[in-house]
Structure 1
Amino acid sequence: MNIKFIMRFHDNTPSGGRKIVYEYMNYLVNKGNNISLCFVANTSFKTRKYNHLLYIKYYLDYLKRKKGQSQIDWFKLNSKIKIETRFSIDSSIADTDNQIIFAFDYGIALSIYDHLTNIRNCVYMIQHDERVYYDKNVIRQAWRLPMKKIVISTWLYKLVNSVDPGNVILVKNYVDLDTFYLTKPIEQRMKTVSLISHPNPYKGTKVGREALSLVKEQVPELRVIMFGTQPSPTDLPDYYEYYQMANESILREKVYNQSSVYLLPSVLEGWGLTATEAMSCGCALVSTKNGGVEDFGVDNYSALLCDVNNTKDISKKIISLLNDSSFRVKIANNGLEMVKSMNFLDSAQLFENVLYEINHSH
């Protein structure tokens, strides 16, 4: 197959959503497929507000950052994958008539629809309820486009299928079990909780920190390990440790395997990649009922679930695990067994089959 993946410009920092797609690309090129990756600075579409102003903004950004787009330091992309950089999407984006065009998000999908006359070979991957990034009406407009949609979780499948029935395929995310695994016995963990620091309010970092302050009042020996792509917040208490731009080895050894509990306090979550990584390293999961957690967080079995933004409930669930080692170990072991079934090869083969069917359906 001949497949072109289209993404927006990147800033060379780790991204869970991009990582999933990069790994699929490596898999596909190793299977003998012709894979290319196109980074686009400007994804204009008819219903985008301030198109003319954004054109200027993104053109300046294109001139400034186009040379750096071929450099991805945090992920090893197969050298056989051709990388190209464009200012915007136009009718020449497809190299051949039978090339599959893969849209990474709503803006790319809408821009492709506006500029290509033939979208039969187009597929649009949805990794979140994208209204967390843009106007809900525009997002639903993108979801109704007459192109196949791939979604990564059960709750997203239900949501997108309600907007565009019968045109949605579920390819669940996976856990990289060769990278994230136990190195420290679950029974020997200290009273340590880890979580991600993220600037998007939907990730719930503020709520998570507020809940952990309540935990500290009841569990004085609490330690917190935080990580993120941004510099360390300046107001972190002294019982916090922070890792910026942590690579997979640091996440496995210094974060997940040092933690008894992993906290996922998101308002909405497409999947929750860090949660499944932490579970595969032996953390007991405490999570809000954020959508994505449904595929791996079964309440009181593989996780403890809380209402969104409920700091008291979140803190209560964390305390129950930290103060009852046998309960924590039980939840952690159940979670570990659950995520072990979410292997890369199963997801990659299903992803390949979806693209194959699109390629041979016309």
Structure 2
Amino acid sequence: MRITFVLPVFPRGPIGGFRVVYEYANRLTALGCEVTVVHERWKGDVREAMRDLWHGRSQPRLRSALSWFEIDPGVRLVIVPELEPHALPPADVTFATHWKTGRLLPHVQSRPFHLVQAYDTWDDIEEVHEVLKLDVPKVAVSTYVAGKLEDLGNQHVAVVPNGLDHDTFRPPAEDRPRGHSVSLLVSKHPAKGFATGVAALSEVRRTIPDLTVNAFGVGPRPDDLPEWMTYHHGLSGEKLVDQVYHRSAVHLCSSASEGWGFPVAEAMACGTAVVSTRNGGVEDFCSHNENALLADSTGLAEAVTRMLEDEALRTRCVQAAYLTASRMDWSASARSLISFIRAFHSTAS
């Protein structure tokens, strides 16, 4: 089976939604599929557009540019000038991976599907809804996202949760005391709750003066990130695990909305206790007072303080969270995805 995934751009750093697509590309290739991942050339910046043009001239260059993720040699990567139906390769199945790429689906020649990784209320909500209401089979990464799709009238929705790379995201061989330390994803996307997280940890610091924060993100350090917080730029894989998760007793997720929640799952797999908002996606695998503490935005500081100071609670949550994370399996997710594809592709043939 020939499968094409359509991404809006070629990524400049490790981004969860892109990683999902590349993971599926690798796993579906291992299952015998011919997979192509199409990206649109960068817009609005001549230098970045020329960079895409240069890298897009050969597979080795594209793989080199995607240094944070190892792509199976059997996967074909493509950068096209415009995301138009005629620019897509011949395929049996075409997957949109974002609402903006979903606009292509009524016009593709192959069987259309939509991998929905988030409910993007931060964009033009009317246009988002128009795309999400298209009568194409949809794969949601969580029950939260699936519920939103069903509320919009979609009938053919499957929940296929993301997996984890357990060779990378794992507890340390020898865990050392992590002290009063917290990790925090830094992103200015409105869904990620940057200001909420900073405010919560600033409040925690008034109670726990020796608090250390291992903040991390894709972009440069924000000017309004407090100076007392350490910032790690562009880390992925083993470096992210070693420099952030393994050095943090608690991971704080302050998001207003999550489609799934990679940093939370990664932290759980690495032996880091989790405190999170009730943001949708993480609630598929985070249970309050069992493997995590969940709170609204005003209760995060209290929850982080409790998790840091109550060693018995933290140990119990870490152990339960690791068992939860250990069941996150990319190969199983890929098999579920291909089963969903085959069910609809066979009816269209």
In the superposition, the TM-score normalised over structure 2's length comes to 0.91
Structure 2: distance between partners of 1:232 and 1:61 = 21
Task: Tell me how large the CA RMSD over aligned residues is.
Answer: 2.2
Q: Aligned runs of 1:83-98 on 2, under 5 Å?
A: 83-96=77-90
Q: Give how far 1:7 is off.
A: 1.0
Show the counterpart of 2:95: 102
Show the counterpart of 1:322: 308
Gaps of 5+ in 1: 43-55
User: Among 251, 264, 280, which residue is 1:262 paired with?
Assistant: 251
Amino acid of the structure 2 residue aligned with 1:286 = V
Q: Give how far 1:16 is off.
A: 0.6
Matched, 1:247 2:241: no
Deviations 1:87-109 (A, max 9, x none): 2233424544x621111111111
Is the alpha carbon distance of 1:57 and 1:213 closer, same or farther for their aligned partners in structure 2, counting shifts above 3 Å?
closer
Q: Give how far 1:172 is off.
A: 0.7
Q: Give how far 1:187 is off.
A: 7.8
User: Among 54, 57, 65, which residue is 2:52 paired with?
Assistant: 65
Deviates more, 1:291-300 or 1:162-171: 162-171
Show the counterpart of 1:27: 27
Amino acid of the structure 1 residue aligned with 2:137 = K
Deviations 1:135-185 (A, max 9, x none): 111111111112111110011111111213321111011222221111066
Q: Contact (CA 8 Å) 1:128, 1:156: kept in 2 or not?
A: yes
User: Among 100, 119, 125, which residue is 1:129 paired with?
Assistant: 119
Structure 1: distance between partners of 2:100 and 2:45 = 14
Amino acid of the structure 2 residue aligned with 1:204 = G
Q: Contact (CA 8 Å) 1:296, 1:338: kept in 2 or not?
A: yes
Show the counterpart of 2:59: none
Q: Give how far 1:223 is off.
A: 0.8
Q: Contact (CA 8 Å) 1:184, 1:257: kept in 2 or not?
A: no
Amino acid of the structure 2 residue aligned with 1:291 = G
Q: Aligned runs of 1:39-54 on 2, under 5 Å?
A: 39-41=39-41
Q: Contact (CA 8 Å) 1:7, 1:38: kept in 2 or not?
A: yes
Structure 2: distance between partners of 1:58 and 1:215 = 41
Show the counterpart of 2:70: 76
Structure 2: distance between partners of 1:186 and 1:284 = 13
Deviates more, 1:287-296 or 1:3-12: 3-12
Amino acid of the structure 2 residue aligned with 1:101 = T
Amino acid of the structure 1 residue aligned with 2:135 = P
Show the counterpart of 1:219: 208
Show the counterpart of 1:341: 327
Is the alpha carbon distance of 1:259 and 1:57 closer, same or farther for their aligned partners in structure 2, counting shifts above 3 Å?
closer
Q: Contact (CA 8 Å) 1:270, 1:292: kept in 2 or not?
A: yes
Structure 2: distance between partners of 1:140 and 1:263 = 30
Amino acid of the structure 2 residue aligned with 1:14 = P
Q: Give how far 1:63 is off.
A: 5.4
Q: Contact (CA 8 Å) 1:186, 1:260: kept in 2 or not?
A: no
Structure 2: distance between partners of 1:184 and 1:287 = 26
Matched, 1:168 2:153: no
Q: Contact (CA 8 Å) 1:102, 1:123: kept in 2 or not?
A: yes
Deviates more, 1:350-359 or 1:251-260: 350-359
Q: Contact (CA 8 Å) 2:85, 2:104: kept in 1 or not?
A: no
Structure 1: distance between partners of 2:44 and 2:14 = 24
Structure 2: distance between partners of 1:225 and 1:61 = 30
Q: Contact (CA 8 Å) 1:89, 1:112: kept in 2 or not?
A: no
Is the alpha carbon distance of 1:93 and 1:168 closer, same or farther for their aligned partners in structure 2, counting shifts above 3 Å?
farther
Q: Contact (CA 8 Å) 1:41, 1:59: kept in 2 or not?
A: no
Percent same amino acid among aligned pairs? Answer: 27
Matched, 1:188 2:141: no
Show the counterpart of 1:17: 17
Show the counterpart of 1:49: none
Structure 2: distance between partners of 1:135 and 1:235 = 27
Structure 2: distance between partners of 1:194 and 1:60 = 34
Matched, 1:7 2:1: no
Q: Contact (CA 8 Å) 1:41, 1:58: kept in 2 or not?
A: no
Deviations 1:274-323 (A, max 9, x none): 0000011111111001111111111111111111x32xx11101111111
Gaps of 5+ in 2: 57-61
Q: Contact (CA 8 Å) 2:133, 2:154: kept in 1 or not?
A: no
In the superposition, the TM-score normalised over structure 1's length comes to 0.88
Q: Give how far 1:211 is off.
A: 0.7
Q: Give how far 1:85 is off.
A: 2.1
Residues matched between the structures, number? 341
Show the counterpart of 1:152: 141
Is the alpha carbon distance of 1:272 and 1:223 closer, same or farther for their aligned partners in structure 2, counting shifts above 3 Å?
same
Deviations 1:305-349 (A, max 9, x none): 111x32xx1110111111111111111111111121122221121
Q: Aligned runs of 1:268-283 on 2, under 5 Å?
A: 268-283=257-272
